[in-house]
């Protein structure tokens, strides 16, 4: 599929949401943002520049601090979901330990997701400078 260097293949660039879910560079939608698999606990490394088009991901010092706010929203949403789900499943109103355990477990399990997707959301939807450029999509690296 990637070798299909026709005009048709170029116009068939993945949609914005799909590229975001796959952790692709917001400008070329081809290069990966992260070294490891998206939900892995192993490698948290993020490329400094897009391996395909060379976009500098951290556009200014401290840029990724903003991602912490996005991450915070994710965590709150996950904790509320986890605790409501626990209540629905167990109908337990007595034990604070149950909810504490569920909340901590949810926060730990979701950490790789929060870390990566807070940055993805920041770069895709909160940074107008990082626009998609169809001319950079899919062309082999020189
Ligand atoms: Zn790129």
pLDDT single digits (tens) 53-66? 999 999 999 999 99
Pair 122, 64: CB distance under 8 Å: yes
Distance 79 CA to ligand 1 centre (A): 33
Q: What is the b/e burial string over 104-134, where b = at least 16 CB atoms within 10 angstroms of the residue's CB? A: eebeeebebebbbbbbbbbbbeeeeebebee
pLDDT single digits (tens) 6-27? 444 445 778 999 999 999 999 9
Domain coordinates of the chain in residue numbers? 7-136
Distance 46 CA to ligand 1 centre (A): 13
Distance 53 CA to ligand 1 centre (A): 4
Average pLDDT estimate for 113-131: 95
pLDDT at 39 over 70: yes
């Amino acid at each position: 599929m990637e070798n299909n260097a026709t005009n048709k293949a170029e116009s068939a660039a993945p949609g914005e949401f799909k590229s975001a879910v796959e952790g692709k560079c917001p400008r070329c939608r081809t290069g990966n943002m992260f070294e490891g698999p998206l939900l892995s606990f192993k490698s948290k490394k993020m490329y400094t520049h897009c391996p395909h088009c060379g976009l500098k991901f951290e556009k200014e010092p401290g840029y990724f601090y903003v991602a912490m706010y996005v991450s915070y929203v994710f965590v709150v949403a996950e904790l509320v979901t986890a605790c409501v789900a626990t209540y629905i499943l167990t109908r337990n109103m007595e034990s604070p330990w149950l909810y504490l355990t569920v909340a901590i477990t949810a926060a730990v399990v979701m950490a790789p997701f929060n870390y990566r997707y807070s940055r993805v959301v920041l770069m895709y939807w909160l940074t107008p400078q990082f626009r998609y450029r169809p001319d950079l999509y899919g062309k082999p690296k020189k």
